[in-house]
C-alpha cells in the first residue's frame, strides 16, 4: 500500500483519524502488515481491547503511523481485508512520568 492510498482511506471527522492522516502526509514512517485473513478479526479485536484497557490504566494518552519523532502518537490502523476502509484507528502517546508499571 502506498502512502497516498493509505491517506485516501483515512476519512472521517474523528480527531484520531485526522491526526493520523496529518502525520502520514508529513511523511511519518509507516508499515502495513496484511495477511488478508478475516478469520483473525475476533482474536485481533480481543488483543487490542486488552491493550486499550492497559493504556487507560497506565494513564497514557489514547487517541500504526509513527509520528513520535514529531512529539506525536504511534497510530495503529485496522483496515478491511480489501484495503479500502479503515475500521479503527488507535493512537498511543508516551507514558506519563511516574505511571510506569511495577
**Residue percentage of the chain with pLDDT more than 70:** 71
How many domains does the chain fold into? 1
* Chain segment 52-88, per-residue pLDDT in tens: 777 677 776 554 677 777 777 888 887 777 788 887 7
Q: Is the dihedral of CA 13, 32, 63, 49 positive or negative?
A: positive
Residue 99 counted as domain residue: no
What spatial distance separates the first Cα and last Cα of the chain, rounded to whole Å?
A: 39
Domain extent, residue 63, equals: 3-92
**Residue indicated by cell numbers 502526509:** 25
The answer to whether residue 53 sits within a structural domain is yes
pTM: 0.65
> Would residue 100 count as lying in a domain?
no
Amino acid at each position: 500500500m502506498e502512502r497516498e492510498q493509505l491517506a485516501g482511506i483515512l476519512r472521517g471527522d474523528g480527531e484520531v483519524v485526522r491526526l493520523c492522516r496529518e502525520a502520514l502526509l508529513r511523511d511519518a514512517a509507516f508499515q502495513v502488515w496484511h495477511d488478508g485473513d478475516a478469520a483473525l478479526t475476533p482474536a485481533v479485536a480481543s488483543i487490542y481491547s486488552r491493550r486499550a484497557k492497559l493504556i487507560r490504566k497506565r494513564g497514557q494518552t489514547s487517541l500504526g503511523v509513527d509520528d513520535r519523532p514529531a512529539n506525536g502518537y504511534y497510530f495503529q490502523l485496522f483496515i478491511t481485508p480489501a484495503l479500502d476502509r479503515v475500521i479503527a484507528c488507535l493512537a498511543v502517546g508516551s507514558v506519563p512520568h511516574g505511571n510506569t508499571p511495577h
